[in-house]
Amino acid sequence: MFSKIESAFMLTTVVCMFLVSALPPMANAVPAIQVTYTEKTFADGKARFFTYKTDDGVAIRYFILKSSDGVIRAAFDACNVCWRENKGYSQQGDFMVCNNCGRRFPSARINEVRGGCNPAPLNRKVENGTVTIQVADILQGKSYFDFRGVRR
């Protein structure tokens, strides 16, 4: 009826199906609750820009840099005044510069001064050589980057 090879193959297939069906169901992926970076990434004082994409497709931009006073700082790539233009900031030496209005902000003031055209602060924690930002804190900046229904 069946050759030895066919019988062995069918038996192996049945055993594998039995073993797989006995496995517990796979868990759903757990969403990240934080993002981490090595502190060494920012040692050169250059701002690094990042994007966090929300479940509904909004791309939240932020930057992290080591300021001239040696502190790791983070802010959204937007401010309370110019955010609708969606231009963000660029770094010129020790300053973060608004790409819309041209105002300059010393690196040591990032995360210190709030409001106006200052880069909107983003909470971060530096510990044991790691920079950690909670996703919940990143999501607090969503309104700066969600342009649905916003007139520009």
Q: Which domains does the chain have, with CATH numbers?
A: 34-144 (2.102.10.10)
DSSP state of 23: S
- pLDDT for residue 149 is more than 80: no
Give the helix/strand (H/E) hosting 73: strand 72-76
Model confidence at 147, pLDDT cuts 50, 70, 90, reads confident
Q: How confident is the model at residue 32 (pLDDT cuts 50, 70, 90)?
A: confident
pLDDT at 23: 46
49, 59 contact by CB (below 8 A): no
SS3 59: strand
Dist CA 54 CA 7 (whole Å):
52
- Sequence-separated (6 or more) residues with CB below 8 Å from residue 126: 39, 72, 132
**Amino acid 7: pLDDT:** 52
Query: Phi/psi at 70 (nearest 5 deg)?
Result: 85, 5
Query: Which of these, 106, 104, 49, 93, lies nearest to 75 by C-alpha position?
Result: 49
Can you tell me the mean pLDDT for 98-125?
Answer: 93
Across 80-106, average pLDDT: 94
With cut-offs at 50, 70 and 90, classify the pLDDT of residue 21: very low
